[in-house]
């Protein structure tokens, strides 16, 4: 007859679940980390700061856990309405989650801005893990003083060095995140990777290509609205009609390009990636329109579908 200790050892681990915010300064690799953790692209990522504009959720389900990640815009000193709303989305996420992963780019430190985020974390009073990202780009000797510094200024549950791009340290990060979660139910079925609608992902992929291919203020003055998203299962086809809104006529000219070449390039790259993500043929039409001052007025932000906090 098995004794009580044997029975205890055979008990399965209790299921843990919860919401986890990915926060940090702009361009530290939050969206890249989310995509790598999920093994699927749910958030656009570019080398330019402030690519992410609102909360994006990704779901990672394991044998005894479910983590709902909330990717947030970078926290920065915002002056205009649009950027203030982006930061508010990040701060709102911190209020609503069970735990937090604070991501720091070890190659591009900004101590003053990091200290402001540490202050936000103190007020939030939630279990927080520090992920030191891009460790593949520095020497080991540079990493230890950083770990020592951060361990002294805030009681992190864990400090995990990672390289999101190289997938280094991600298993350890997941393990530490699960430890911060309460026992709870499975919020989404095991196959769900994101609750983001396909039409929103399509708009974001088009916007990502604009970010990658245009310069200066153009990508920041641009937003994309998918007007039509129609599936044709018999032909394994999705028809997408999207409008790119810009603030000035000159920006419209840049996005269309000479003889329509830039818009064609944006459309081709977006279509190819959407076909890969959705596993279907894509018929994509993109129009470009000027909507002056759309980033400065709440009614115009609503019109282009930007979620107000």
So what's the pLDDT on residue 49? 86
In a domain, 191, yes or no: no
Ramachandran bin of 31, using left for φ above 0, alpha for ψ from -120 to 50, beta for the remaining angles: alpha
Note whether 106 and 248 are same-domain residues: no
Note whether 120 and 249 are same-domain residues: no
Note whether 130 and 261 are same-domain residues: no
CB atoms within 10 A of CB 69: 25
Note whether 154 and 87 are same-domain residues: yes
Note whether 54 and 161 are same-domain residues: yes
So what's the pLDDT on residue 4? 45
Q: How far apart are CA 65 and CA 156, in angstroms?
A: 21
Per-residue pLDDT of 6-52, as tens digits, reads: 544 545 679 999 999 999 999 999 999 999 999 999 998 888 888 88
Note whether 173 and 206 are same-domain residues: no
So what's the pLDDT on residue 50? 81
**CATH number of the domain within which 215 lies:** 3.30.300.20
Note whether 166 and 134 are same-domain residues: yes
CA 15 to chain centre: 25
In a domain, 309, yes or no: no
Note whether 135 and 281 are same-domain residues: no
In a domain, 186, yes or no: no
Note whether 156 and 39 are same-domain residues: yes
Q: Can you give the residue range of the structural domain that contains 91? A: 11-180
Note whether 37 and 166 are same-domain residues: yes
**CATH number of the domain within which 158 lies:** 3.40.50.300
In a domain, 147, yes or no: yes
- Looking at the DSSP bridge assignments, the partners of residue 61 are 66
Mean pLDDT of 118-132: 96
In a domain, 2, yes or no: no
Note whether 120 and 222 are same-domain residues: no
Ramachandran bin of 289, using left for φ above 0, alpha for ψ from -120 to 50, beta for the remaining angles: beta
Q: How far apart are CA 86 and CA 75, in angstroms?
A: 8
In a domain, 89, yes or no: yes
Structure tokens at 19: 């919401």
Per-residue pLDDT of 62-120, as tens digits, reads: 999 999 999 988 888 877 888 888 889 888 889 999 999 999 999 999 989 999 999 99
Per-residue pLDDT of 254-293, as tens digits, reads: 999 999 999 999 999 999 999 999 999 999 999 999 999 9
So what's the pLDDT on residue 309? 58
For the chain, the farthest-separated pair of C-alpha atoms sits apart, in whole angstroms, at 82
State percent of the chain over pLDDT 70. Answer: 96
Q: Based on the structure, what is the number of domains in the chain?
A: 2
State percent of the chain over pLDDT 90. Answer: 79
What average pLDDT does the chain have? 92
Note whether 172 and 76 are same-domain residues: yes
Q: Are 255 and 218 in contact (CB under 8 A)?
A: yes
Q: Which among 180, 213, 230 is the end of a domain? A: 180
């Amino acid at each position: 007859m098995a004794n009580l200790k044997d029975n205890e050892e055979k008990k399965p681990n209790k299921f843990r679940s919860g919401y986890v915010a990915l926060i940090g300064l702009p361009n530290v690799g939050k969206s890249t980390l989310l995509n790598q953790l999920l093994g699927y692209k749910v958030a656009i990522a570019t080398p330019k700061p402030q690519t992410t504009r609102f909360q994006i959720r990704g779901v990672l389900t394991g044998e005894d856990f479910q983590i709902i990640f909330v990717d947030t815009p970078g926290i920065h000193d915002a002056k205009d309405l649009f950027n203030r709303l982006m930061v508010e989305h990040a701060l709102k996420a911190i209020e609503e989650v069970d735990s937090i992963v604070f991501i720091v780019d070890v190659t591009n430190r900004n101590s003053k801005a990091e200290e402001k985020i540490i202050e936000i974390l103190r007020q939030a009073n939630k279990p927080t893990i520090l992920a030191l990202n891009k460790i593949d780009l520095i020497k080991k000797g540079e990493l230890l003083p950083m770990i020592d510094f951060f361990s002294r200024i805030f009681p992190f549950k864990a400090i995990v060095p990672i390289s999101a791009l190289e997938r280094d340290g991600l298993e350890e990060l997941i393990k530490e995140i699960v430890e911060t979660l309460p026992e709870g139910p499975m919020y989404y079925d095991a196959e769900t990777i994101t609750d983001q609608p396909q039409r929103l992902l399509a708009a974001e992929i088009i916007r990502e290509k604009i970010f990658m291919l245009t310069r200066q203020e153009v990508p920041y003055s641009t937003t994309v609205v998918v007007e039509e998203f129609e599936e044709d299962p018999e032909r394994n086809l999705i028809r997408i009609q999207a409008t790119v809104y810009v603030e000035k006529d000159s920006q419209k000219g840049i996005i269309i390009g000479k003889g329509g070449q830039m818009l064609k390039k944006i459309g081709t790259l977006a279509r190819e990636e959407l076909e890969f993500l959705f596993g279907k043929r894509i018929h994509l039409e993109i129009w470009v329109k000027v909507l002056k001052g759309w980033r400065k007025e709440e009614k115009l932000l609503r019109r282009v579908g930007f979620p107000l906090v």
